[in-house]
């Protein structure tokens, strides 16, 4: 289908490009609207394919280019997907570079360049190991790669080299300190070279120069110049001693630690921010794809003739089960696709086409209820004893009271808002991929392996992602698109998964999870023995979250785990770790059994320990109790629940939350208000981003608790769209959210989204206090909460 206006459709599209390319000026800050390289934008405007990797403005180092007009472009090696990472990374580089924050632009770094260029040695330095030092440069034993990289060095099935120039192009969790250190160094290296260039021009010692907002000053003579003026010289002059470059210590930070709005916000509100779904290339075809709904299945037959004359249809193609080496060993399916002149034509034809599937017989009858039964049964014979302190068995025998509870959580999708998609252009000698992607380097390898084109000739152009929540679970959208596009060489193909395809076949899930808790209380209601058994699908994440470093004081503690292998693909999901929620629910149950206040009960149990994070945890509880007016009278039908996140040591990120809960007599429940206290440590880069993540986590916890229940029947996921799940919206979100931070002398962890855990157990306890109903198997939508 085509459109014409006074202008032709393509001129209309071009005109939009013109509009986009007139870099929006917002609050004085000229910002790249959509994060593709400057030269690439020019290429798009003239209707050519992008040719990135060439910088027409002086490049100081791989991360920083500075134009004569002082505009600084930061190349961001990780994809923005809502967590504010692009703003955070730009802030970090700017903290060190000290350019004018109002003249900052951003673009995504090139994964292709990463293949071709080795990281300079100075950028490979890692921060000292000592976790609580305020100095990131401090020696703390032998510098080593942080665990998140170390695990993958050499053992990654995709053979990605982690020593490429942008070697850390991934948006994963972990200690912020480790993940961001090289951006500090990049900013510092560029600053020093710019200063050296100015010193050379003026023939003065570099030590006499200072810089603020991109203006270099020689105080003795009153001379000034700007970064833009010396950038060309600096770009050509290497640093004499790059190994000696140091990052600032947090006490020297000026920009970091201040609230900065997201750099991409101005482009969101005009609709111009480019997501993968928004890629438009000249001559582009559209594809709709459908894979066998039972994971690991394939196509038996399909009737292309039935649809080949439908409007706009270009061709029908079959694609195989993606090589598991390219999908992190996950089992996905083979399928079929229709290529057409618009997505609607492609989808309509695909929906109309008769397809028969080859369903793997061993899982053809698998369903959620049986899987949950298997998980529950597995715990009778623990597979692994993860923690064993004291002697649980002898202690429980002398308990005055025994409390037991079994909790379960269903499979949950990460369900990012933007359905899986990718745009791919394959020719004999080159592959271009446009995609929002959390692991672009790996996807680049897929582009090479699936086409035979060498990696050096695969160009991956990052777009912003409409949510991520665990890329490696987002499934083989790139692989599907590459396999489809290589059937029409020379033309870009824009493949989109339907929402149903995205949720049912294209993604991996947060694992099903079950736990059995047992505690023995003494005559005063304090635990003398606790056992926590957990079970989860093999490959699930967080089976011991909050339990292997149990923060509460109990002399006899045992924690065991079981993994059970199912065929449902599972992986990490936005830090959703059900055991953490179960733990807090169980502590609530103990407090009620002991007839004690859940806040004071937790506080006392923490005080019985001597763990490293104890004081921060007590502080978080005290702070949130005060914020929420804990203990003050409430009307009938309302109650407060309290919850604590975290383990007993490690980097911080401690948080506590109080949820003010209401339940009507008819059983309609809601969190009315949420209060959160969090220890950000001294390393919070952008407190506004932390707040937004906390706010987002509150939504996840609420939606999971109320509505998320993904069901497997006949081997396939049958829950497919927003009409039955993920139904919590504005009307379930608390009208009031209060957040307060405090700073312990630690590096903070970047997981504020854990507010999803704290809101969940607090909500469940509020419901219990009001209705007397203790819900141990979410979601709430399956339960009658009426009372009175």
Partner 1 sequence: MALNLVVNGQLYSVDTEPATPLLWVLRDSIGLTGTKYGCGISECGACTVHVNGQAKRSCVTPAGSVVGQDILTIEGLSSDGTHPVQLAWKEVDAPHCGYCQSGMIMAATALLQKRPNPSDEQIESEITNACRCGSYYRVRLAIKRAAEMMRA
Whole-angstrom Cα distance, residue 286 to residue 102? 39
- The site that binds ligand FES (CB under 6 A) totals a number of residues, namely 3
Tell me the closest approach of the beta carbon of residue 5 to partner 1, in angstroms: 4
Distance CA 2, CA 555 (A): 73
- Residue 13 interacts with which of partner 1, ligand FES, none, CB < 5 to 8 Å by class: partner 1
Q: How far is the CB of 744 from partner 1 (least distance, A)?
A: 26
Q: Which is nearer to partner 1, 128 or 312 (CB)?
A: 312
Q: How many residues does the chain have?
A: 788
Helix or strand holding residue 14 (H, E): helix 9-21
- Find which of partner 1, ligand FES, none residue 151 binds, CB within 5 to 8 Å per kind: none
420 binds ligand FES (CB under 6 A): no
Comparing CA positions, the residue from 659, 673, 645, 674 lying closest to residue 748 is 645
For 612, counting Cβ atoms within 10 Å of its Cβ (0-12 exposed, 13-18 middle, 19+ buried), the class is middle
Nearest in space to 611 (alpha carbons), one of 652, 575, 577, 642? 652
Contact 480, 322 (CB under 8 A): yes
Residues 66-95 interacting with ligand FES (rule: CB under 6 A): 82
Order of strands across the sheet with 223-226?
209-212, 215-218, 223-226
Tell me the number of residues near partner 1 by CB under 8 A.
72
Site string for ligand FES, 727-766 (x = CB under 6 A): ----------------------------------------
Would you list the DSSP string of 152-218? TTTT-TT---TTBTTTT-----SBHHHHHHHHHHHHHHHHHHHHHHHHHHHTS-GGGEEEETTEEEE
Instruction: Identify what 618 binds: ligand FES, partner 1, none; CB under 5 to 8 Å per kind.
Output: none
For the segment 393-412, give every residue that binds ligand FES (CB under 6 A). none
Tell the smallest beta-carbon distance from residue 324 to ligand FES (Å). 30
Contacts of 514 (CB under 8 A, 6+ apart): 372, 375, 376, 379, 406, 407, 408, 409, 534, 535, 536
The reply on whether position 312 binds ligand FES by CB under 6 A is no
Identify residues 412-441 at the interface with partner 1 (CB under 8 A).
415-419
From 95-103, 492-500, 552-560, 617-625, give the range in contact with partner 1 by CB under 8 A.
492-500
Q: Does 342 bind partner 1 (CB under 8 A)?
A: yes
Site string for partner 1, 161-190 (x = CB under 8 A): ------------------------------
Task: Give phi and psi for 462, each to the nearest 5.
Answer: -75, 135
Regarding 309 and contact with partner 1 (CB under 8 A), the answer is no
Smallest CA-to-CA distance from 607 within 658, 552, 657 is with 552
Q: Which of 32, 182, 286, 557: binder of partner 1 (CB under 8 A)?
A: 286
Q: What is the per-residue binding string for partner 1 in 680-699, x denoting contact by CB under 8 A?
A: --------x---x--xxxxx
Residue 273: CB minimum distance to partner 1, A = 5
CB of 82 to partner 1, least distance (A): 3
Nearest distance from C-beta of residue 533 to partner 1, angstroms: 31
- The SS3 assignment for 663 reads strand
Give the separation between CA 292 and CA 302, rounded to whole angstroms: 12
DSSP letter string, 331-389: ----EEEEEESSHHHHHHHHHHS-EEEE--GGGTT--HHHHHHHHHHHTTS-SEEEEEE
Please pick, from the candidates 167, 193, 229, 264, the single residue that binds partner 1 as defined by CB under 8 A. Answer: 264
My answer on whether omega of the bond before 260 falls inside 30° of 0, hence cis, is no
Q: Name every residue whose Cβ is closer than 8 Å to that of residue 144 and which is 6 or more positions away in sequence.
A: 126, 129, 150
Which x/- pattern over 697-736 shows residues binding partner 1 (rule: CB under 8 A)? xxxx--------------------xxx--x--xxx-xxx-
Degrees to nearest 5, angle at CA 156 with 153 and 158: 130
Residue 84 Cβ vs partner 1, minimum distance, rounded to whole Å: 8
**Is residue 268 at the binding interface for partner 1, with CB under 8 A as the rule?**
yes
Q: Which of 140, 467, 612, 637 binds ligand FES (CB under 6 A)?
A: 467
Q: How far is the CB of 722 from ligand FES (least distance, A)?
A: 7
CB of 462 to ligand FES, least distance (A): 17
For the bound state, the minimum distance from the C-beta of residue 745 to ligand FES, rounded and expressed in Å, comes to 34
**Residue with tokens 């090479």, as numbered in its chain:** 448
Q: Does 469 bind partner 1 (CB under 8 A)?
A: yes
Q: What string marks each residue from 114 to 133 as x (binds ligand FES by CB under 6 A) or -?
A: --------------------
The partner in contact with residue 83, picked from ligand FES, partner 1, none with C-beta cut-offs of 5 to 8 angstroms by kind, is partner 1
- Please report, in angstroms and rounded to a whole number, the separation of the first and last CA atoms in the chain: 60
Interacting residue ranges for ligand FES, rule: CB under 6 A = 82, 417, 467
């Amino acid at each position: 289908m085509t459109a014409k206006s006074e202008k032709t459709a393509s001129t209309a599209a071009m005109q939009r490009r013109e509009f986009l390319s007139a870099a929006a000026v917002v609050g004085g800050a000229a910002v790249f609207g959509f994060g593709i390289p400057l030269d690439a934008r020019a290429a798009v405007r003239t209707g050519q394919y992008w040719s990135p990797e060439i910088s027409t403005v002086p490049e100081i180092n791989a991360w920083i280019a500075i134009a004569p007009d002082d505009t600084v472009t930061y190349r961001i090696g990780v994809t923005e997907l809502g967590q504010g990472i692009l703003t955070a990374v730009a802030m970090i580089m700017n903290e060190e570079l000290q350019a004018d924050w109002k003249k900052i632009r951003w673009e995504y770094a090139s994964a292709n360049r990463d293949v071709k260029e080795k990281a300079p040695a100075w950028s490979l330095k890692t921060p000292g190991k000592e976790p609580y030092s305020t100095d990131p440069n401090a020696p703390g034993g032998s510098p080593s790669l942080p665990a998140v990289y170390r695990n993958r060095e050499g053992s990654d099935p995709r053979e990605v080299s982690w020593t490429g120039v942008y070697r850390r192009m991934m948006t994963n969790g972990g200690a912020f300190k480790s993940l961001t250190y090289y951006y500090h160094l990049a900013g510092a290296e560029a600053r020093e070279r710019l200063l050296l260039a100015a010193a050379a021009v003026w023939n003065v010692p570099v030590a006499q120069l200072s810089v603020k907002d991109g203006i270099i000053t020689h105080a003795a003579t009153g001379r000034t110049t700007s970064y833009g003026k010396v950038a060309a010289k600096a770009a050509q002059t290497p640093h004499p001693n790059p190994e000696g470059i140091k990052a600032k210590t947090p006490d020297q930070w000026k920009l970091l630690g201040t609230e900065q709005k997201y750099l991409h916000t101005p482009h969101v509100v005009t609709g111009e921010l480019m997501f993968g779904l928004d890629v438009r290339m000249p001559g582009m075809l559209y594809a709709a794809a459908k894979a066998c709904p039972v994971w690991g299945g394939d196509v038996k037959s399909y009737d292309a003739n039935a649809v080949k004359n439908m409007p706009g249809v270009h061709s029908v193609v079959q694609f195989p089960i993606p090589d598991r080496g390219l999908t992190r060993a996950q089992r996905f399916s083979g399928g079929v696709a229709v290529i057409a002149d618009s997505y609607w034509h492609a989808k309509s034809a695909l929906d109309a086409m008769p397809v028969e599937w080859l369903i793997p017989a061993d899982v053809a009858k698998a369903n959620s209820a049986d899987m949950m039964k298997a998980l529950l049964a597995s715990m009778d014979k623990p597979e692994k004893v993860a923690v064993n302190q004291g002697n649980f068995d002898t202690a429980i025998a002398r308990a005055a009271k025994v409390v037991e509870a079994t909790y379960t959580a269903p499979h949950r999708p990460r369900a990012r808002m933007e359905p899986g998609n990718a745009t791919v252009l394959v020719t004999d000698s080159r592959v271009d991929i446009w995609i929002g992607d959390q692991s672009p380097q790996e996807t680049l390898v897929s582009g090479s392996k699936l086409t035979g084109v060498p990696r050096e000739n695969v160009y991956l152009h990052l777009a912003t992602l409409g949510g991520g929540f665990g890329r490696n679970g987002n499934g083989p959208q790139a692989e599907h698109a590459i396999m489809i596009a290589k059937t029409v060489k020379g033309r870009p193909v824009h493949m989109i998964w339907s929402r149903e395809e995205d949720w049912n076949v294209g993604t991996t899930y947060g694992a099903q999870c079950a736990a059995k808790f047992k505690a023995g209380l003494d005559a005063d209601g304090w635990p003398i023995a606790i056992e926590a058994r957990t079970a989860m699908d093999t490959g699930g994440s967080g089976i011991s979250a909050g339990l292997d470093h149990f923060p509460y004081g109990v002399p006899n503690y045992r924690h065991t785990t079981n993994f059970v292998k199912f065929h449902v693909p599972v992986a990490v999901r936005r830090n959703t770790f059900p055991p953490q929620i179960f733990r807090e629910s169980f502590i609530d149950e103990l407090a009620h059994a002991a007839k004690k206040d859940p806040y004071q009960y937790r506080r006392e149990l923490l005080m019985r320990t001597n763990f490293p994070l104890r004081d921060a945890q007590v502080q978080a509880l005290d702070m949130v109790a005060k914020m929420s007016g804990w203990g003050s009278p409430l009307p009938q039908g309302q109650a407060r629940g309290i919850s604590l996140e975290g383990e007993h040591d490690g980097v911080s990120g401690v948080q506590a939350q109080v949820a003010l809960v209401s339940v009507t007599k008819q059983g309609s429940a809601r969190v009315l208000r949420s209060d959160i206290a969090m220890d950000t440590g001294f390393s919070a880069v952008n407190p506004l981003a932390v707040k937004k993540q906390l706010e987002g986590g509150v939504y996840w916890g609420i939606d999971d608790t109320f509505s998320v229940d993904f069901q497997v029947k006949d081997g396939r996921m049958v829950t497919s769209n927003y009409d039955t799940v993920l139904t919590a919206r504005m009307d379930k979100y608390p009208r009031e959210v209060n957040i307060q931070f405090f700073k312990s002398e630690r590096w903070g962890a970047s997981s504020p989204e854990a507010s999803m855990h704290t809101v969940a157990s607090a909500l469940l306890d509020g419901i219990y206090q009001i209705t007397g109903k203790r819900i141990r198997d979410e979601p709430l939508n399956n339960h009658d909460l009426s009372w009175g």
